[in-house]
Structure 1
Amino acid sequence: MGKIVITSNVTLDGVVQDPDGAEGFARGGWFHQYVGAKDLEDWVARETREVLGAEALLLGRRTNEWFADRMTARNVAEGRVSPEWADSVRSLPKYVVSSTLKGPQWSNVTVLGGDVAQEVSELKRKVDGEILVYGSYQLVRTLIEQHLADELRLVIFPVVLGSGLRIFDESGDKKPLHLVETRKLGNGLVFYTYEFVPS
């Protein structure tokens, strides 16, 4: 049975929007602005361990495009992306939820174009192990609302933005969670793992 793991970088006040500044959000670019070399070193090590332990990725259309654009050999050669992490992301099976995606931009992509809850439930039955969800916040909200998400992993960045898109902006019901792990990354990041408590 597959396990849906939502994994995200987030500011202290819960903002997940535009961490690299590429989306043009006025307060974007916070990922690199508030961390040091040791923080990034530990972040890369954690991300790499996580993806090496995964069986698949589940992505929304825009996040799929973002990753396809950044996991290129050129970005790896220029040091923008960890080679081991990029190789793992490229090689994993990727399931993209989209009703409009026609031609996937990279390898190992299966488009899920039907009913999201039904398709993801079937994916969980088919895949044995962790299915990571990066970004994809519209999809993430659907997974949470439909009680399909099993675990939430957050890396908290030491900044308060005051506004911006949050994972739980439009949550319909209370969502009880169970804290599994908390630890410091580098000198300024904190990593939390929560399990969703079945209702």
Structure 2
Amino acid sequence: MRLTVNTFLSIDGVMQGPGGLDEDPSNGFDRGGWLVPLADEEMDRLVSGWIRQADALLLGRHTYEMMQPYWELVTDPSDVVAESWNHLPKYVVSSTIIEPTWHNTEVISGDVVRTVAALKAQGHGELQVHGSYQLARALYNAKLVDEFRLLVFPVVVGAGKHLFEDGAAPSSFMVTGSHVTRSGVVALSLLPREFAVAEMLRKGKG
């Protein structure tokens, strides 16, 4: 499987609490909701396009516990995002969740890097990470991320959880897709250069 990281970022690299003030107040974060003034139907279409490509979802515990109560209540079968969140296979990385209640969930509690590498080797399709900053960092540093899909918002948050931290593994990327929405949000598809040639060959054969 290909592993993609799909997330929202401010231009100073913050990914915490984009959708609401109380979405993720951990570590005293009080600047949530920073994407709301720029959200529109075009952004929704981009996010729906991401999720349509998913064959399974991989989440950190906090993101999982934040998403479950919201999306379980959205039962409209025409809602692409809700249908994916509620029915696709989900893997949650956690040492505290023992018996997950969200449909089609499996807990990863051991060696995360080794387990995810095994998942990637098992089959085809796309395994998507959403949010889950610690998980995304660990998978990036382990060179397991095949693609980053980012929506970069023209705001500076000034504090919060970042996708890349000091000491992250150095890397460079090829931009394989870009788009600017009417509200100024920049959508980017990025392939690590070491994977880019293989990815282009794969698509050429497809």
TM-score, normalized by length of structure 1?
0.88
RMSD of aligned C-alpha atoms? 1.8
SS at match of 1:111: strand
Runs of 4 or more above 6 Å deviation: none
8 A Cα contact 2:2 2:126, kept in partner: yes
- Alignment-derived partner of residue 44 in structure 2: 44
Q: Please show how residues 37-76 of structure 1 align to structure 2 within 5 Å.
A: 39-73=39-73
Q: Which has the higher contact order (CA 8 A, sep 6+)?
A: 1
- Is there any run of 5+ residues in structure 1 with no aligned partner, and where? none
Aligned counterpart in structure 1 of residue 32 of structure 2, from 28, 34, 37: 28
Instruction: Name the amino acid aligned to 2:120.
Output: K
Aligned residues: 189
Residues in 2 aligned to 1:127 and 1:98: alpha-carbon distance in whole angstroms: 23
Residues in 1 aligned to 2:158 and 2:151: alpha-carbon distance in whole angstroms: 18
TM-score, normalized by length of structure 2?
0.85
**Is 1:147 aligned with 2:151?**
no
User: CA 1:159/1:112 → structure 2, altered by over 3 Å: closer, same or farther?
Assistant: same
- Alignment-derived partner of residue 17 in structure 1: 16
Deviation, 1:21, is 1.9
- Alignment-derived partner of residue 164 in structure 2: 168
Task: Tell me the percent identity.
Answer: 35
CA deviation map 1:57-103 (0-9, x unaligned):
01011111111111022x567xxxx8221112211100111122112
- Alignment-derived partner of residue 92 in structure 1: 88
SS at match of 2:55: strand
